[in-house]
Structure formats: structure tokens, C-alpha cells
Structure 1
Amino acid sequence: MSLVQYLVGFMLKHGGCTERDIERLSKIGLCVHPVTLHRKLKEWQHILDTCVIEARDSWSNGAHTTYQIIGDNWDKDLLPSYRTSDRRTMSLHLFNIYAILDRVTFAPENFERFHDQIDVATFIPSEEEQNQLSKELCFIISTSIIENHPQMNRVLKQAYPKHLEHQFSTFAGQKTTQYPLGLRDCNEIKTQDVIQLLKDLSKRYVPCKDDSIVEPVFFGGDRLTDERIQSAQEAMKNADTPLERLEGFVSKIEDFNRLMNFLEAIHKLTYNTQSGPDRCTVYYFRNVLNMRNVKGKVCNSFRAYKMLYYVILDAVCLLMFLTIMNVETIEEQLPLPENFAELTDSETVAWIDSVSLKILRKWFFEGKDDVFKDLREVISNPNHPDNYWISNLQADGRLKCHYCENTYKFSNTLQYHEKKIHNVTIEKSKPKEKKEDKDEVYDYILMLFRLTVLLKNLDSGIDMGDGERVVRSAKYELPIYNQTNKVKYMIGSIHLTALTSGILPQHQRDRLVANRFVNVQGGKNNNISLDEYLEMLNRDSKVVATGHQTKESILQNSKDYPHLVDIKNHFEDINGIRKRKGFHHLPSYRSDVLKVLTDLTEQGVLKQTSDRKLQCKVLNPNRDVFSSAYKGLGTLIHRHRPYTPFRRLRDPHV
């Protein structure tokens, strides 16, 4: 049979064409027979994970070829051909798995962990980390100014770098290699299913030598996957060997879901549909810009919400730049330094970065060197009322009474004892009194600026493959998750910080940080997070699965889906078919920024005016958003701080 006939058959199969129709077309020579298609696809099934098995064997024998596994739920509703009382829509829950070869490999020097117990202050950004943040935010603000200010665009667009150099920049542009491992009959909500899945994967993909684990494999996913793997390990903790205890995998949270949930937390603090009459609020700008796709939950319109916040951020950065330069409008000529045209590229870059640093110092740090100082002091102070019940935590994990020698296993028991025996009542710390004459609009804009620029820092870190920046971002997200009661992702931030701060050996920690991304097309700024890549693959495989309407047929043919998707992609490349562009390539982006800038300028949002209020009482603008996030944070860190890479479940005593 000719190649064209095979390609036509594969395209029909990809599109969900029935086998009977493919057979009809094969009779007139347009394509191959469906049996021939099945035979060819079956020949290819065994090669799906051949390279992964080879990598596992070489890893077991001491080579530095390492990989990680990424998994996510694969949900699909199967509609009956005709509906009756016993033939209803069936909700199918499977699990899709891919293996990703590590771009950056590290030789194992030793397997000793650095710290058995991590200090509470480690989970809050240090002053040194904030200095590093300043450099990263300078790059973001400078890029924003250059992209949206006409004069800066003309003189600096070619000179300013598109990529912020980091430790792994040399690897960021390399394409990654990934292999599909197929769909598994596993509902990740059920711990028993996850246990069976991990047992099967351990036998096949965990590098072992003499029945002992050479090194655990990272297993990435969203927060639910991370949590279920730990629950499965907890359920098997009494097994005899590490392999039976499922310690061949170290679960980790991936970055796309972190990005989405961080935006949800920001949305919770800054967005409300009752704030339409208040000029310069996010919902007001949503209406002004007619972004009708910004609606409902953030998880259902993530890119639309993200675009709205980025438009406002760019406008705020422009306004701050104009204020620093003492210019009223964007049309006015900027007072550039003397002999600016004669400066070298590096000197012009240094100049715009110095202006961005002034913006940060004035409106992000507000003249402070450490904006997390107050928060760090509260959670590190055992005498603070919020930390009273865990201040006497003993080395054996028991809690000692403050007035006698009794020790207790649970904090609730200690509270009952001190209240009953010693008449102790600890009053909750009261929030600071609100100033009656404060400028709520100014506070709102600064809070919005701080949170959104941190979101963009995480987003650009993913694009550039900067693992250190992405991991460090978890420390900035933690107080915001605590303030917005996003407990699951607060736990995820604590675990991610712990994994990179001492409970993993150094080479495993470096692997975790450096290999958090997939790069399909090459280029230093074209990285995507592992879970986002898997979401894209899930979407493609569901298109192919439309021809199968039972669970058995989907599982039976699931190993054909990656081949059919690859053939479709190659066919599009051969024919020069362009992929459809998403709505995020908006030609009106710059004009939207200018509209927002005009409103911000008219309202004078960067000029503090006493007693300027927002009409919407639901919003509670607080520009010192980090210092006010201390409530219960110390206890939660103590409760969820892990001591081992496996079974990272909460401490029930705290």
C-alpha cells in the first residue's frame, strides 16, 4: 500500500470515522483497510516506552540518564446512542501518564539530606531572595515599558534582552524528549486505584539494582495527584521493602496549576462584580475594555483573566515610569540622559533597569529592604499569641504544658488541659485598626501591582525555564494562599519549599529545580510547565477517542492515540497547515493598555489623597498584603512541614 493511502486511513481514524466507512473507502482505493491500520498501529505499540526502559536500565547501572513521570486525570463523558433509564451518560475517569527525559542531569555525590528539620523562617523569602527578586522584577518592568511606550520601543527594543539569564539558560532552549506511557484504568480519587497504579509503575519504571531502589523517580502532577500519591504511600508505610512502600516515587506539584491558583487568590482579593462603579478596579476595566470572555471562575477562563490583569499591570508600570520621569502623558518626549544616542547597548539597558529599580523601591518595597520582616518575626516568635500552642513543641513531637511538666500528644488536648487546670485563655490577636482617612484607591492599585507583578514573574520564569525563580515563587505565594484560605495550595507551597530546602539530597534537589519544563519547539523562551503540556495532550487524545464509546475500547486503543496525534501533526507540517491562533494574540493589546493608562492618569491613582474610598465594601484594599497574612500561618507551617520526601501528610498533633 502507498504512503498516501496509509495517511488517509490514519487521518480518518484520527477524526473518529467508523471502521465501516473506512472499509467502504478502502474498496475504491482511497485508503487502506481498517484491519491493516490496526495491524500497523499494533506493531508500533511496543515502542512507546522502549526508550524509557533503556533509560531505566542505564540509570540502574550508574549512568546519568534520568527521567521523571507526569500524570493527570483523563475524564470523559460517554453519551449513550439512545437514552433509557438504565443507559445514561457514563463518566469515565482514567489516568494519562508521560515520561519526560531530563535535559539537565546531575551526578549523585551522596544521598545524605541536609536538614531533618527546616526552620519556619525558611518558608518566607529572605532579604537575599528579595534582592534577587528585584533583579527579576526590574526585567519585567523594563520589558513592559519598552513594549508599550512608543519612544522607548524605538530606542531600546533591539538593545534590551528578551531572555533573563539564569543558571540553566544554556539548557532552556533545548527541546525536551517525552514518551507516552498510555492511559491507565485508575481513578485518582480512589486511593486503592492509585496504590495499584504505583505498584505497576514501580515494577516497570523505577531504577532498581539487586531488588533495591537506585534512586526515586519524580512523579509530577496537580495538587490532587500529589496528595493522592502521598496518601497511597501512607497506606503502604508498613510494607517490608522501600519498593513495596512505594518509595520509588517522590511526588511533586507542577507549575501550571500553581499559576492558575495564584491568579485565583489574586482574583479573590482584587475582583468583585459589585466594584463596577469604582473606577480603576479590575472589574471596571473588564467592562471598559469589553472583555466579555472574562467571566465565571478563573479556572474556566484562565487566559482571559490573565490577559486582563497583565493589561492593567502594563498600564500601571507605564504610569509609574511617567511619574518617575516627570512626564504627564505618553506622547511627550522623555528627558533622556545627555548623549543617550551615543551610549552602548549595555549602558542603555543599565539605564532603563535603574529606572525600573526606582519604581520597585518606591512602590513595591516602599523604601524597605525587607517587606517580609514583620511576617517573619511573627511566625518565628514563639511568644506571639498565634504561636502559643506550638511554642513548647518537644523534640519527640509532644507538646509541653506552659505551667507544669505534663506533655500531650495533641494540641487540642493541651488547650483543654491549660484551660481546665490553669485557667488559661489566649485571646486571638486583633488586626490593626483601619485608618479612617486612608486612600483606598492608592492602596488598591499598589496591592494589585504587587500581586500581579509576582504572578507575571512566575509566568515568565516558566517561559524561560528558570527553575530557581519558579521554585522561589512558592515563598511569595504562601502568605497570599493563607490570606485567601487556599489551604491545598498553601500545603503545596510548603512541600515544594521543603523539597528544595533540605529534605532531598543536593543532586535530587537540583534535578527537581532544573527539569520542571517541556520545550517542544525549541527556543529559550518557549518552555511550558509539565502539567500544562499534559493538559494539551489530554485534549488531543480526547479528540482521537471520539470514535470509541466504551471504557474497554478506549483502554484497548489508548496506545494508538499518541501515534495518531503525531501522524496528524506531521501531516499538518508537510502540508503547511497553520495552527489556529488563540484569542491571546490580540492586536488591540497595546491600545487596551493605553485606555487603562488614560483612566489611571485621570484618577491620579499614584497621588495619595486622604479619605478617598471605594464604593464597593466587599473589597478590602491593603497594600501591605504580606504583613497582614500572619494569622495562623506559623501553625500551618508547623502542621504541614514535612520531614521526609515520602508520605508528606500533615502532623496530626499540631
Structure 2
Amino acid sequence: MKEMRQKTERINLGVLEKNEQYNDQMTDICEFIHKFVPGHSEEENCAQEPQKVLSGGDYLTYERHKQAKNCKSNCRTPSKQLKGLVPKIEEFHNQAEFLKLIWSLLYDTSSSNSIGTLYAARNKMNSRNVPSDPHDNFYASSEFMDKVTTAYIIAGGLHHFKMENLHSKPKPDYAGPVGDHDAMKEYIMEHAHQFVENHAVPHVQNLPDYGIQSNDIKCRYCDKEYRRPMSLRKHEARIHGHPDPQFNQQSGISPPVKTSYKSSVYDYTKLCLTLGLLRLNHNDAIRFGDGERLLRLAKFFCLYYKGGKCPKYAFALLETTAQAQCLLSERQAERFVWNRTVNHQGKIDTNHPNDLDLEHCNKVFKEDVHTYRGKYTEKTILRVSRSALATDGICKKFDNVSSVRQCSGKHKKTDMADDIQLLAEQLHSIGNVFDIDDSRVHDSFPNLKDPLASLNMEDIQTWISGSLKKFSSKHYV
């Protein structure tokens, strides 16, 4: 925490008239960035390996960056091959994508009369700025989800401690050791653990032990190598008797049978609370710059993206985990984990993602360059790009000294206590959303199911193994 609170130093390299959507222009961007990598050389016969520097962005930039590196993989020198750049996906766009996943699972405009749903909560709190697509207004959707998650936690606490309302006291059996601070803290943490175990931990199948266990497709008993995973599985089942329901009829294991499923109100509550707590955890890790926690949460997000039909981000986060665990050296992996946020205040709990900081820089640059009304040259763009942030800081200080009031442009937190209390009371007293009653269902979500529970773990194991084999042969790692 002491290191992550240090103030970040930002150096502007300029702005290029390039479009990252096109492969040739993204290659030009990477070549421009690589000139600033330590160890870069323009010599034709230089075999010196440059130092690796992280280069992050949103998903589109991430994919185009990898394609650009692959296009240059046959060049003669390491610098020409762009070996000094390590592409990575950043956290702000990951925040937005996870919020969109929550909307796709739990937000439906036809559920306005179903107490406990997101759309009913939106109407209850009169949050008219919350759109049907969170990408249309990310900050309004993010604030709304914070309110809903907090209200669910409060309603869950009232249900757990058998309290009638917000102003009543817990039942005598749940009163706790009043007066002893340490004992009360331990008591609260114990009940919080019970609450999370009961209402927020999804039940997921374990990875099967009958799939291939080696990326080399080698038998675990006799080390015989195969070219295809299915041939290896057949060999282990029929020659060595390894249990595999697809090839060994004597194993006693039968593949899972798909059955019809009808969700209840409690299933919606559990999924909403689980996703909300994961999101709060992710946001808290960003604010503190906790890279280890971000990479740990990436594993959860990867599976939720896979089960929630977001295959691109699932693959990207699987690759992110692989980069930290095995693809990069220990030194580079350490940098990869802990260089995901910036801090411009020098205080704890004030970090924000790298890509969000870049979006702020882009906003300042665009406001400055618009004053030229489209009549600008490459020299003008370079000058404005290097001076925009400095002049913006001078103008803000001048306005502050001159007592000029204007919109700061920052997203400030509003007082959410009234909305949270209103929603929590509705969830507890009217909705009873934590009561386990299979007969109560939300009509708009008749077949809602946790994405993790619907995953086929055999397919997931095959996907992970095949993806790791792809990663190991790529140039961009």
C-alpha cells in the first residue's frame, strides 16, 4: 500500500494521426512506441534484445497490438520484431464489460413489477439516467449498481440477524458480545463469512480428472505421446483403465444430463448479490492498486465471461492470467501484476486504471485541439499534445485563485443513503428476497441460472489446455 500510494509521473509522447482499427496503422503506432523502449536499436545487424515494456489498452487495441507484433515476427532484429512491447488489457474497459454482463443477465424492462429486480429498483429510486445499455452512461449505471448491491447486503443482514426493520435490534440469539471491541469484531466477521457462504458463493463443478493433464498430450501412465487429445483420452481409458465416461463404460461415471430448470426469486437474489460483490471487490482493488487481487478476480471474471457468452473477454482474461503465471519471466510478471493503475494524488484509495487516465488525457487534448477548428498540421498536433495537460493545470490554478466557478469534470460521489434505505426496506419487508421459496419466481426471468453452474467443465478444461498451447507459440508474449 505504501508503494501503490506514490504519485505517478506522467510523460506525454505525443499524438499520432493513426487509427488503431487498421492493422497497418497499428503497426506504425507500435513502431513509434518501440523507439522509447530501453535497448531499442535501429541498426540492421543488432541482435541485442530490448527490455520488455508493458503496453496496455482496451480490447480492440490489445488485439490489434498482437496482430501488429505477429506481422513483424519475421524481421531480422529484435527491435524490428517489436520484442520490447508486451501487450496487456486494462481494467477500466474490464469494469465496463463486467457491468454489461450483469445487465445482460439481470436487467429487463419488462420486470418493473417484480420487486428485487434491477429495473424495479431503478423505478423505485427514480434513477432515470440509468440506460438499458450501461455503455451509454457508465457512471450512472455504476452508481446505480453500487446502491443496489449495498441495499441487498443490508436486506441480507436484516434477514440473517432476524431483524424486523432497520431500526429494530437483532434477536437475543444474535445480539453478540456488546462492549468488547475485539470480540464484537470477531463475531461480525464470523457472521459475515456465514452470510457470504450461504448467499453469495456459487456452486461450481470441479474440473474433471479424466481430461488430458499435459499440454504435450502425453499419457500420465506410460508417457506415450499423441498428436490429438481425443486419442490420448481413448488410450488412457482403454489401456490403463482411467475413468472416462466417453470411452470407458466400466468407469461407472455417466455424463451430466441436461434437465429443465425454473429459477426462483432467491436464485435471482443470489446471482445479483454474487455479481455485485465481485464488482465491488474489483473496484476496491483498483482504488488501492492491489494488482494481486485484480489478477485473482480476473479468474472469476474469465469464467463468468465464458458462461455469460462474452468469449472475447474470457479469452483475453485467460491470456492475462497465463501471462502472470507462466508466459512472462518472474521480473516481468511482477511488473505486469503491479502496473495496472496510476495515482495522481499521492494518497491511498485514490488509484484509477491506466486506460481511464488515458481517456482523461484524450479529453483535455481534444478540447485544446478543437480551438483550431480543424485547421491544424502535424506540428500543431505535436505541440498541443505535449502542452495540453500543462496548460490545463495552469488554467485550473488560475481559476481557483480568481474564484472562478466552473464544472470540474470529475465524477463526485453523491449521498446515496436515502435511496439505499428505501430500496433495502422494500427488499426486506415487501419483497422478502432472501426467503428460499421455489414457488416464487420473477416472470421476466423464468430460466435464470448462474453462468458458472451452466459451464461444462470438461469443455472448459479442453479450452484452457488448447488456449495455453496457443499462447506458448505466439510471438507477442
TM-score range, shorter chain: 0.7 to 0.9
Structure 2 residue matching 1:340: 3-state secondary structure: coil
* Equivalent residue for 2:77, pick from 213, 232, 241: 241
What letter matches 1:279 in structure 2?
Answer: I
> Is 1:630 aligned with 2:470?
no
Deviation at 1:297, TM superposition (A): 2.1
8 Å Cα contact 1:271/1:281 also seen in 2: yes
Match of 2:96?
260
Two-structure CA RMSD over aligned residues (Å) = 3.2
Alpha-carbon deviations, 1:361-380, whole Å to 9, x = none?
A: 221237xxxx44x1x324x6
8 Å Cα contact 1:247/1:646 also seen in 2: no
Deviation at 1:627, TM superposition (A): 2.5
Q: Quick one: distance in 1 between partners of 2:398 and 2:233? A: 79
Deviation at 1:620, TM superposition (A): 3.2
Match of 1:251?
87
Q: Quick one: distance in 2 between partners of 1:599 and 1:276? A: 14
Match of 1:488?
312
Alpha-carbon deviations, 1:421-471, whole Å to 9, x = none?
A: xxxxxx996533325xx6x11100000000111011111100011000011
8 Å Cα contact 1:185/1:555 also seen in 2: no
Q: Quick one: distance in 2 between partners of 1:560 and 1:231? A: 30
1:408-557 map, 5 Å: 430-434=257-261, 440-550=264-374, 552-553=376-377, 556-557=380-381
Structure 2 residue matching 1:219: 3-state secondary structure: strand
What letter matches 1:377 in structure 2?
Answer: L
Q: Quick one: distance in 1 between partners of 2:297 and 2:278? A: 8
Alpha-carbon deviations, 1:481-528, whole Å to 9, x = none?
A: 112221211111111100111111111111111121110112110000
What letter matches 1:507 in structure 2?
Answer: R
Q: Quick one: distance in 2 between partners of 1:480 and 1:310? A: 19
> Is 1:362 aligned with 2:192?
no
* Equivalent residue for 1:287, pick from 103, 111, 123: 123
Match of 2:155?
319
1:602-613 map, 5 Å: 602-613=430-441
* Equivalent residue for 1:598, pick from 425, 431, 443: 425
* Equivalent residue for 2:211, pick from 382, 391, 408: 382
What letter matches 1:340 in structure 2?
Answer: V
Q: Quick one: distance in 1 between partners of 2:435 and 2:5? A: 43
What letter matches 1:286 in structure 2?
Answer: R
Match of 1:126?
none
Match of 2:228?
399
Match of 1:276?
112
Deviation at 1:404, TM superposition (A): 12
Structure 1 residue matching 2:454: 3-state secondary structure: helix
Q: Quick one: distance in 2 between partners of 1:349 and 1:604? A: 28
Q: Quick one: distance in 2 between partners of 1:463 and 1:645? A: 35
What letter matches 1:512 in structure 2?
Answer: F
Q: Quick one: distance in 1 between partners of 2:414 and 2:277? A: 21
Runs (4+) of structure 1 moved beyond 6 Å? 390-397, 403-406
Q: Quick one: distance in 2 between partners of 1:519 and 1:484? A: 33
Deviation at 1:400, TM superposition (A): 6.0
TM-score, normalised on structure 2?
0.83
Deviation at 1:552, TM superposition (A): 5.0
Structure 1 residue matching 2:13: 3-state secondary structure: strand
Deviation at 1:533, TM superposition (A): 0.5
Q: Quick one: distance in 2 between partners of 1:327 and 1:479? A: 36
Q: Are the structure 2 counterparts of residues 392 and 486 from structure 1 closer, same or farther at C-alpha, using a change threshold of 3 Å?
A: farther
Structure with the higher fraction of residues in strand conformation: 1
Q: Which runs of 5+ in 1 are unaligned?
A: 1-168, 384-389, 407-426, 650-654
Q: Quick one: distance in 1 between partners of 2:32 and 2:359? A: 23
> Is 1:173 aligned with 2:5?
yes
Alpha-carbon deviations, 1:35-83, whole Å to 9, x = none?
A: xxxxxxxxxxxxxxxxxxxxxxxxxxxxxxxxxxxxxxxxxxxxxxxxx
Deviation at 1:535, TM superposition (A): 0.7
What letter matches 2:438 in structure 1?
Answer: S
Alpha-carbon deviations, 1:171-210, whole Å to 9, x = none?
A: 1221111111110122111111122222232233343486
Alpha-carbon deviations, 1:6-43, whole Å to 9, x = none?
A: xxxxxxxxxxxxxxxxxxxxxxxxxxxxxxxxxxxxxx
Q: Are the structure 2 counterparts of residues 303 and 431 from structure 1 closer, same or farther at C-alpha, using a change threshold of 3 Å?
A: farther
Alpha-carbon deviations, 1:102-141, whole Å to 9, x = none?
A: xxxxxxxxxxxxxxxxxxxxxxxxxxxxxxxxxxxxxxxx
Q: Quick one: distance in 1 between partners of 2:409 and 2:17? A: 34
> Is 1:563 aligned with 2:375?
no
Q: Which runs of 5+ in 2 are unaligned?
A: 236-253
Count of aligned pairs: 441
Which structure's CA Rg is the greater one? Answer: 1
Structure 2 residue matching 1:314: 3-state secondary structure: helix
Q: Quick one: distance in 2 between partners of 1:549 and 1:543? A: 11
